[in-house]
Amino acid sequence: MNSYYLTLVLKPDLEEKERKVLVDNVVKKLTGDDGKVEKEDLWGIRDLAYPIKRQAKGFYAHFEINAEPKSAKGLDKLLKVEEDVLRYLLIRR
């Protein structure tokens, strides 16, 4: 079991319900059966340093997660395909 930091930048025009479902699916995919979320920190909508996918703002969410390494590899494919995720950063700590 490894510890990870996951930061997501989502489209700001998502409704709260859609955002919650997206974040829950991503976290559930990463944690799997044995993992757990140590800390969840929703930063809200902030200005981006430069436009990403024609968006000047983004909704930031940061998580500290314990998960298996094999789950982290599969998450990369999921996040690259998801249209509502502008950027993400997954770091093992």
In total, how many domains does the chain have? Answer: 1
- Positions of the chain with pLDDT under 50: none
> Residue 27: what pLDDT?
85
> Residue 93: what pLDDT?
87
> Residue 71: what pLDDT?
81
Angle between helices 69-81 and 16-31 (to 10 degrees): 150
Range of 21's domain? 2-92
> Residue 45: what pLDDT?
95
Q: Among 38, 36, 29, 39, which Cα is nearest to 70's?
A: 29
> Residue 74: what pLDDT?
80
pLDDT tens per residue, range 43-68? 999 999 999 999 999 999 999 998 88
- What CATH number does the domain containing 45 carry? 3.30.70.60
